[in-house]
Amino acid sequence: MDDLDLIKDMSNDCVKMQKKFFSKGSIITTYIEKRRQICILLSGKADLIRYDFNGNKDIIDRFNANDIFGEAFYPVNTNNELFVLATEDCEVLLFLYDDVHVKCKNNCKFHASLISLLLELILNKVVHQNARIEILSKRTIREKLLSYFSILSVKSFSKNITVPFSLTTLADYLSVDRSAMMREIKSLIDEGFISKNGNKIRLLY
Amino acid sequence: MDDLDLIKDMSNDCVKMQKKFFSKGSIITTYIEKRRQICILLSGKADLIRYDFNGNKDIIDRFNANDIFGEAFYPVNTNNELFVLATEDCEVLLFLYDDVHVKCKNNCKFHASLISLLLELILNKVVHQNARIEILSKRTIREKLLSYFSILSVKSFSKNITVPFSLTTLADYLSVDRSAMMREIKSLIDEGFISKNGNKIRLLY
DNA sequence: TTAAAATTGTTGCAAATGCAACAGAATTTA
DNA sequence: TAAATTCTGTTGCATTTGCAACAATTTTAA
C-alpha cells in the first residue's frame, strides 16, 4: 500500500489534512452532522460508541489500523451522539470530504495519493460491511456462527481458524446473547460440526 | 449530481468503460472473483441473487437507480455464485476498478468525473450499509422496526412515514419472519406507539 | 376482464433466544 | 504478587421468534 506509506510520512504540508496523536482513553472525534469528516486510523485501535437512552454503552463499531471512519459514513442521527474513543494510543489522519474530493488548488502532492488511497480504503470498508450484513441477515445463531466461520476459513484458505477477538466480543459482533451463543457452540461441537480449543476452531465439514 | 449527468451522456469514447442495456429478466453480471468489477445502475432496478444449498432463491441486496454494485464490493466467496438480475429494464455502466482508479492515459474526460462520482456513490453506499447494520444489530423485531422507522422519520423530517416497499420486502430487509413482524406491528399499534394505514405509518411518540 | 400471482392479516405451536445469575479461569492493573 | 477485572462456561426459565397453514384482499398479467 504505497499511497498509505506516503500519507504516513507526510509532514503537515497540506493545511486541509491534519495528522494527530491521541492517547488511550481520549476522544478522537464526535459525529457532528453535515461536516462530512473522514478519519484514517494510521495506527492503534478505537471504538465507535453511543450511550443509549438508558445510559448503556453501545459499541457500534471497532476500528483497527488502516480502517477509515467518520461522520461522513454515518446516517444523519439527531437523537444520539456518537463518538470515537481511542482504546489504544492512536495516530489519525483527519480531513473533510469536501476539502479533498476535488483537486487541491495548491496541487499538493498528497491529494492525488489521498484520493487513490481513499478509494482503496473505502472499498475495503464496503467489503467488510457486506460480510457483516450477510452474517447479521442470518436468522439463527447457528447460521451466524457458521457464516462467520466460513468467511474466516475462505480468507485464510484453511479449515483451522482463529477468532481474532474474545468470545464476548464475537457475540457482540454477531449481535446475539453471549450465553446463547456459547450454548450453540457447544451444540456444534456435540454434533460434530466443529472442534474448539480456546478461540481456535476447526471446521469438520 | 453533475458528474452523473456527464457519465450518463457519455458516448462510448473510453474503451475502459461500457454502457449497456439489459432488459427485464436478464442477468447483468455474475460475481467472479479477482476481477474487481464495478457497476453503476443508471436507471432501472436489479436484485443481487444467490441460490442457497437447498436451491432457495436468496435476495441478498436490491439496487435502484444511482446504486453502485459489483464483485469489487463483495467478500471472496468460493462456495456460492452471486449474480445480479434485472427486475426492470436497466441501463448500466460497467468497468474494472483497476482500470479507472488511476489516471487515464488518454486523459479521457470521463475519468476525472468518474473518480469523483465513484467516491460520492460509494460514500452513499457506506452510509446506507451503516444504517442497515445498525438495524440488523438490534436484538428484537420491535427494536428493528422502531430503528427502521426512526431512520425514515429523521430522513423525511416527519413523524409520518411511508415504507417504500411491501411489508413482505420489509420483513426481508429486517431479516425477520414476516408473520412475526406483522404480529409485532399489531402490538405496536395496540400499545399506542404507532398507527398504520397500508404502508403509511405515523409515529405517536 | 378474468385468471393468476402476490400481498396482507391472522393463529397455534414448537423451537430458539435472551435474560439473570453464578462459579471458576485467565488476564490485567495497582 | 495480590487484588481487581474481564472472560469463559453453564443452567433454568420466560419470552420471542420462526414455521406452517389458511383466508381475504390487492395487484399484475394474459
Q: Classify the C-alpha dihedral A137-B163-A61-A175 as positive or negative.
A: negative
Residue that the C-alpha cell 457497476 belongs to: B39
A22 and A114 share one domain:
yes
Interatomic CA distance for residues B38 and B118, integer angstroms: 10
Predicted pLDDT of residue B122: 95
CB atoms within 10 A of CB A191: 10
pLDDT grade for A111, boundaries at 50, 70 and 90: confident
Closest in A75, A101, A126 to B73, CB measured: A126
In whole angstroms, C21 C1' to A180 CA is 14
Contact B60, B17 (CB under 8 A): no
Closest in B120, B136, B176 to A133, CB measured: B136
pLDDT grade for B59, boundaries at 50, 70 and 90: confident
CB atoms within 10 A of CB A119: 18
Exposed / middle / buried, residue B79 (Cβ in 10 Å: 0-12, 13-18, 19+) = exposed
Predicted pLDDT of residue B134: 92
A27 and A120 share one domain:
yes
B175·A139 Cβ contact <8 A: yes
Contact B102, A116 (CB under 8 A): yes
Exposed / middle / buried, residue A164 (Cβ in 10 Å: 0-12, 13-18, 19+) = exposed
A121 and A161 share one domain:
no
pLDDT grade for B81, boundaries at 50, 70 and 90: confident
The mean pLDDT of B11-27, rounded to a whole number, is 79
In whole angstroms, C9 C1' to B20 CA is 42
For the cut 90, the answer to whether the pLDDT of residue B123 exceeds it is yes
A113 and A17 share one domain:
yes
Reference B168, options B137, B135, B199; nearest CA is: B199
The mean pLDDT of A79-99, rounded to a whole number, is 87
Cβ-based contacts of A127 with chain B (< 8 Å): 73-75
B92 and B175 share one domain:
no
The mean pLDDT of A48-76, rounded to a whole number, is 83
B75·A118 Cβ contact <8 A: no
pLDDT grade for B56, boundaries at 50, 70 and 90: low
CA–CA min distance B136, chain A (Å):
6
> DSSP letter string over B108-131?
-HHHHHHHHHHHHHHHHHHHHHHH
For the cut 70, the answer to whether the pLDDT of residue B140 exceeds it is yes
Between B94 and B25, where is the model more confident? B94
pTM for this predicted structure: 0.91
A127·B74 Cβ contact <8 A: yes
In whole angstroms, C26 C1' to A86 CA is 25
pLDDT grade for B106, boundaries at 50, 70 and 90: low
Residue A170 sits in a domain whose CATH number is 1.10.10.10
Between B51 and A147, where is the model more confident? A147
B86 and B182 share one domain:
no
Average pLDDT, chain A: 86
Interatomic CA distance for residues A146 and A187, integer angstroms: 12
Instruction: Look up the domain containing A17 and give its range.
Output: 2-134
Most confident range (mean pLDDT) of A81-85, B53-57, B105-109 is: A81-85
Predicted pLDDT of residue B2: 67
Phi and psi for B83 in degrees, rounded to 5?
-145, 160
Residue B32 forms contact with A (CB below 8 Å): no
CA distances B63 to A42, B20, B154, Å, are: 33, 16, 22
Phi and psi for B64 in degrees, rounded to 5?
-120, 180
Residue A202 forms contact with B (CB below 8 Å): no
Residue that the C-alpha cell 480531513 belongs to: A95
A115 and A180 share one domain:
no
For the cut 80, the answer to whether the pLDDT of residue A51 exceeds it is no
Predicted pLDDT of residue A172: 92
- C-alpha cell at position B40: 453503476
Between B25 and B181, where is the model more confident? B181
Tens digit of each residue's pLDDT (9 = 90 or more) over B149-163: 999 998 889 999 999
From B91, B117, B134, the end of a domain falls on: B134
A109 and A196 share one domain:
no
Average pLDDT, chain B: 86
pLDDT grade for A205, boundaries at 50, 70 and 90: confident
CA–CA min distance B54, chain A (Å):
14
A63 and A11 share one domain:
yes
Interatomic CA distance for residues B98 and B34, integer angstroms: 11
Orientation angle between helical segments B109-136 and A109-136, nearest 10 degrees = 40
Predicted pLDDT of residue A98: 86
pLDDT grade for A14, boundaries at 50, 70 and 90: low
From A114, A134, A154, the end of a domain falls on: A134
Q: What is the largest CA-CA distance in chain A?
A: 64
B111 and B182 share one domain:
no
B129 and B177 share one domain:
no
pLDDT grade for A135, boundaries at 50, 70 and 90: very high
* Number of structural domains found in chain A: 2
Interatomic CA distance for residues A191 and A205, integer angstroms: 11
Predicted pLDDT of residue A69: 95
Residue B43 sits in a domain whose CATH number is 2.60.120.10
Reference B36, options A156, A124, A3; nearest CA is: A124
B112 and B182 share one domain:
no
Orientation angle between helical segments B109-136 and B141-156, nearest 10 degrees = 140
Exposed / middle / buried, residue B34 (Cβ in 10 Å: 0-12, 13-18, 19+) = exposed
CB atoms within 10 A of CB B190: 8
In whole angstroms, C14 C1' to B161 CA is 36
